[in-house]
Amino acid sequence: MVKLTHMKTILCAEEQKELIYHQMLENEHRSAISQVRLVTLSNLLKIDETEDNEALSLRLSKLLNAHKNEFPIYAEMFQYPVFCSEILSFARTCALYSITPQELPRDTASEMELAEITSLALLLPLREKRTAAAREELLNQAADLAIEEDRIVFEADPFRAAFRKELHERITSMNTSASPVPAEQIELRRAPSVQMELEAIAQDIVKQGTSCAVVLTSVSSQLPVLKQVFARYGIPCFISRETITPSILPAFVSLVRFALSPSAGTFLTTLRQNAFPVSCSSELVRWLEDTCTEAVYQPLADQIASLSAQDIHEAERMDQQGKEFFQAIETDLKLLKSSQCAADAFKHAYQVLRNSPLLKTETEFQTALQIRSRLNQVLPLIETREEAEFVLRELEGMRVSAEGPRHLFCQICDLSHPAEPVETLYVTGCSSTSFPGVPVRNGLFDEAYVAKISRFPTLSDRYDLWKEQLSWLENTSRHVIYSYPEADYQGKEIQPSFSLTSRIPTITSWKIDQPRPRYQQDHFLFPETAYALYGGTTIRSSVSRVERWFYCPYSWFIQSGLRISEFRGSMLDSATIGNYAHAFMNHAVSSRGKDYPSFEPSKIEAFLTPAFDSLSRRFPHQKTLLQLSKQRLVTALTDTLRVLGEAEAAAPSWHPNATESLFEEPISEHVYLKGIIDRIDFSAASLRILDYKSSSKSLSEIKVKAGLQLQLLSYLIIAQKLSGRTPAGAYYIPMKEGSVPAKAGVFKKTNKNGVELLDANDNEILHQYEISGRKLSGWAVGESELSEEAYKLWISPGSGRYSYARIKDCIESLYEYFYFGVTAGEISVTPVKGACTFCSYRPICRYHNPELEVKELVYEGIPLKMGKEEADHENG
């Protein structure tokens, strides 16, 4: 004869099950639990938690679309899962309370449509209809279970709460065994801001060192900040009910969309989501975004003809990566492209997904199983592309709960998910809008709408129930600290919750420790290391790299010392435009000499077209942008040549002698300089340097002495050394018109009877403005061989001369300053103004202080510009 043993039944929430089993094992010192049954309210109400909402949402969408003509207001919403989900949720509530469509409000056209839509939703096999019909029977069945304990702490759903209450009335022997811990100390504290509130709580947890729980009143806004703060303080915590979007979801959706419509766009989306079993590097994704026109390997061929040697090397490397990647995913691509219908697209996408490396994590794997379960429900219902897109939108909105290792030292939860008993309970964000945080209805069926339904639970009843359930806050810990911030992230004032201030009259401020910032030791190299690393007795460098050191030694070290450079594709940018403009000017001067401004726009376009055509083949998605950019460059060069033609006519003694002059020469005792001089002009016995710039630029004496403007004057010194001619000046030629203030009109007093209005639309005046915006900018160091009037007209600032001897000595001193600084190991993070603006290495140095002021490093207080008497004396 078999002896029957007693089965203990406990009523609990779903999330409590694991913890209850663990507590039983620990308390009874056993390795297994038997004869214990844990049931939830969903079990008692016979609610099938596995019922797939996707299937019902899709069925509702199909049903509504079949009656689309009857709903002119909401017809366009039937394709969106969020709309169908809201309708279903309300229909379920109506089914629970046996609310018929005839009881729904019909005061407006919108409400009439909602009532009819809800009536259609109630035709679906909703589980709530079965629950409402069998409520009495379910109560009897639950009573027969002889539940001994009720460990539910929070239940704010009116229907379930009423069911639970009646169950207690029928099972009078049922105990509420969740041991309350009445609060002995209740405080209300304030912090200056949201960030400081969480900072204060973290500091208090570290100081106390006892078990605690943090209750968030707004999980979505507070949890990300809290996780960062706790990670910084090293606080171990358990986050219950954290909702995330697994990576596997967008990956799967992108594969399905590609299978439904194989194109370059949908293929690139799969790569961005890392959807294929073989990972695609971020740099390859960026490369393919520029080059891919269809989901097949496309060799470069002649697409890189216009690139520099370095860029060609990078392009060939990326091309090889692309070839290997396409070979690796060839089988998967063929499978996806073979999809004949929507069902095939979903099946083939899932087959590819099964080999994804994303599935190595437990959360992603479980999500994939959920996807498969949902597909089993919805695939038989999908008949059109629109319905397939509906399911994809549903999947995109899917969220899952992820729980890390359970750690009872610190629990993170919200108001509706109680924590286990702890020493201290912190309730954060207790503002007037967040606490007690009673859920109110919004959307289509808001509070104003449901207030018209007599059998719908009233807001007052739901409010009272919610407040009653929140009693757990002061029955979980002997020390409860309510907290609120005084200001939000924008600095707007936040008021505390009235329900707290009405019973806790004293509000104290958090005591927040603000330790002094720890300044890292300056970066440096040992001189022996620096001396060996950078070439010993001499350093060979370009001007731009030397200037980078003066701007920020640490940035220079990363680029030139560690040789870390960012791959810059060859898509159109300011550097590429500048290269093309330089190439044309070199071609124009080389082919026509002094007569180079005579180039017609058609000739300019003919010169630029091969380069832009090459870019169009290289970047097929940017053809329109490239065409517009070419036309803008042709216009800019035409305008530049027109103005330069007049400037050349005003300087008949000057003739272009060399363009794109490559050199590698010593500039000082320890520094060899290499570079390319854009243009060198000769007169009878003098020379001048001209440098093309994409925008207006001028020399600043303080920047020259700070080592920030070395190029133009260094090139002048090199050119004088190589040619032996007397230097006359060095100037920038702007390839783009600078900003010039233009007045709409000017009144000039001509006589006692009135004033004269100068017309700013006059072509002569506009021409003067054009010349002002394109003046050569630089320094004269000798006789200009121009008339005083021509010099003022074409060269800015138009007067004054600089001492070539002092300039040469200053520039050489700066290069020596650079050499001895580098070989001494000077690589500190000391950026001067302008250094950080376009720096690629800011995430590495993490410099957050203001940039340093520019200051003279050599020739302090000694002017490079000659006074009038000195200039007159030098002229004889």
Residue-wise DSSP of 239-305: ETTEEE--THHHHHHHHHHHHHS-SHHHHHHHHHTT-SSS---HHHHHHHHHH-SSSS----TTTTT
691-705 burial: b if 16+ Cβ within 10 Å, else e? bbbbebbbbebebbb
| Segment 706-741, tens digit of pLDDT | 999 999 999 999 999 999 999 998 999 888 766 666
Among 116, 117, 113, CA closest to 88: 117
User: What is the SS3 assignment for 861?
Assistant: coil
pLDDT at 1: 36
pLDDT value, residue 51: 53
**Which has more confidence, 301 or 342?**
342
Q: Within 747-803, where are the H helices?
A: 763-773, 788-794
pLDDT value at position 54?
63
Q: Is the pLDDT of residue 20 over 80?
A: yes
Share of the chain above pLDDT 70, in %: 87
Q: Band the pLDDT of 2: cuts 50, 70, 90.
A: very low
At 497-550, the pLDDT tens digits run 999 999 998 999 999 998 765 556 678 888 888 888 876 788 999 999 999 999
Beta-carbon-side half-sphere exposure of residue 758 (alpha carbons within 13 Å): 14
Select the more confidently predicted residue: 775 or 744: 775
Percentage above 90 pLDDT, the chain:
57
Query: For position 108, what pLDDT does the model report?
Result: 95
Q: Is the pLDDT of residue 302 over 60?
A: no
**pLDDT of residue 669 exceeding 90:** yes
pLDDT (average), residues 337-343: 93
Whole-angstrom distance, CA of residue 826 vs CA of residue 530: 9
pLDDT of residue 308: 61
Q: What pLDDT does 658 receive?
A: 92
Extract long-range pairs of 73-80: CB within 8 Å, 24+ residues apart.
73/109, 73/110, 73/113, 74/110, 74/113, 74/114, 74/117, 79/386, 79/389, 79/390, 80/390, 80/393
Please state, rounded to an integer, the average pLDDT across all residues of the chain. 87
CA distances from 394 to 76, 126, 382, 391 (A): 17, 19, 13, 5
pTM, entire model: 0.74
Question: Is 194:504 a contact under the CB 8 Å cutoff?
Answer: no
pLDDT at 847: 81
Q: Which residue has the higher pLDDT, 871 or 117?
A: 117
Tens digit of pLDDT for each residue in 362-404? 889 999 999 998 999 999 999 999 999 999 999 998 888 776 6
Model confidence at 118, in pLDDT bands (50, 70, 90)?
Answer: very high
CB-based burial label for 608 (10 Å; 0-12, 13-18, 19+): buried
Cβ-contact 518, 846 below 8 angstroms: no
Measured distance CA(537)–CA(823) in Å, rounded: 9
Residue 600 to residue 611: CA distance in whole angstroms: 18
